[in-house]
Structure 1
């Protein structure tokens, strides 16, 4: 047998092996990937922050400003907060929507993106409602937290259903939440989030299904069947939290109503 024939046979065997390996990629695997990775598609999105001014937003300018393309929230030693404060989007009250943005936060920072929220009476620029949590140490980034409401609905890595039964908040979490599945351990997902650097956040909010993606990966998934407490539309806002001096930047804030 010639060297050329040996070479050709080698190529044929390699091809068969590759075909066999590819057959192990089942539709279930493909579906799992599709469920946990956000698709990059910007069709229909509208920029809702111009990068230069606070036009279209309302908040306390002692803590919020536009700077070099970013919406900046900052707490300084001489202006510590007594309560969480938000800058609120004034362009409507989104119902079903997708929101995309980029964020960067200092290590001591605590922030978040509120949606389907309402004004909390008696406190200036305070919101009550769902929040995509963001913090500088990435202990909570990606989870679903209800500000001034039911508190934690899903920790990072959890797929959760909130049943239509009475519950209370204990240890900063809603007691009736049912964990239906895992998206990965909180610690493993944390490794995908960059510290003090730019990350992406993508919220997909349809009906009572609430999904929070960070850097394209699904971090929390909530189906809210609690008809007493859930909200189906409301205000959109961004938070700076009570605590030590901090700074958070948001840019390329894009909204698509569904």
Structure 2
């Protein structure tokens, strides 16, 4: 009898856990339909849909003078989680911007936090603030950004925000980058953005973790978009883009 009761209890526990996981998954909603660019806005010279993915492409005939984005028009999330699969060519440079501002004087340009990525696995996973404070955490770093005491020009040194304080190591950067798949394989970005804490996971591994106490330059909500970067011909693909707002 005791064994039967224990078995029933175990089955009930597993069923409850399964329901909980299902409910959690259901909170994520697709923000890309896999077929069209409906709900997104960008320059179609660079953006299209191919094989169920948003594709950003630069060719020798369409080289960029400035970075350009395709921007999700569905809102300006504050606290959220975002998941997206991506793959990028060897020479590619891209990223997922969030809590970003649109620039009035430059079409399809964003200023704000970015989950960085590149085909050479130099930047993938770091937190880079586009058109702002630049690098807020390199791969393998947990950082604290203190309140602002000066101008952007004063704070930026060697393409990084010099006031940032490294509070903990998340692991050796080269070892962490080994979790990033090469070539035609798909990777997954998972962003957890809550309050002033910004966590970037790649393939389930925490790559950077920023706590931003700079209320002058930091943002609490804003636009989401994905980027193609100035540079040589490249291709980046995004699919299964899911958002869960808090």
TM-score bin, normalised by smaller chain = 0.7 to 0.9
What is the SS of the residue equivalent to 2:139? coil
Structure 1 counterpart of 2:241: 253
Tell me which of 162, 172, 188 is aligned to 2:175: 188
Structure 2 counterpart of 1:143: 126
Tell me which of 189, 211, 229 is aligned to 1:201: 189
CA deviation digits over 1:84-141, x for unaligned, max 9?
A: 0000000000000000010000000000000000012311100000000010001000
Tell me which of 203, 218, 229 is aligned to 1:230: 218
What is the SS of the residue equivalent to 1:42? helix
CA RMSD after TM alignment: 1.2
1:109 aligns with 2:92: yes
Per the TM alignment, residue 165 of structure 1 is displaced from its structure 2 partner at its CA by: 3.3
Q: State the structure with more CA Rg.
A: 1
TM-score scaled by structure 2? 0.88
TM-score scaled by structure 1? 0.84
Structure 1 counterpart of 2:7: none
1:153 aligns with 2:140: no
Structure 1 stretches of 4+ moved >6 Å? none
Structure 2 counterpart of 1:169: 156
Q: Which runs of 5+ in 1 are unaligned?
A: 1-38
CA contact (8 A) 2:148 2:217 kept: no
1:216 aligns with 2:204: yes
Structure 2 counterpart of 1:9: none
Tell me which of 118, 122, 142 is aligned to 2:105: 122
Size of the alignment, in residue pairs?
220
Per the TM alignment, residue 43 of structure 1 is displaced from its structure 2 partner at its CA by: 3.1
